[in-house]
Amino acid sequence: MSILYGKSSPYYLTSQVGSYLGVINFRNIPYQSDDVQFTITSQYEFRPDLLAFDLYENVNLWWVFAVRNKDLIKDPIYDFLAGQTIYLPKMSTLKTILGN
């Protein structure tokens, strides 16, 4: 049995062991000079999926914020706190990295 994940999925590069996923393998989202600084507002606290939808029109890109800001966000949900300033990659950068 093969499990396929779309390019926007955090599991896209993760290997499969039998019918189970192996250790997650995130794609790198490197710093770009045109990244935008964003201070998380209360409407997005604990909800990176909502911010992903508002920015990229895709809730499945919630993981991008944790990967791009790995020095600040260890837990992609509970470390997504109002008042914290993070870097956001532009959609054009994501399209290049994700191959969309």
Q: What is the pTM of this model?
A: 0.86
Instruction: Label each residue of 70-98 as H, E or C.
Output: CCCCCCCCCCCCCCCEEEECCHHHHHHHH
6-51 per-position pLDDT tens digit: 888 888 888 888 888 888 888 899 999 999 999 999 999 999 999 9
Phi first, then psi: what are they for 64, rounded to 5°?
-60, -40
Contacts of 20 (CB under 8 A, 6+ apart): none
Q: What crossing angle do the helices spanning 48-56 and 91-98 adopt, rounded to 10°?
A: 100
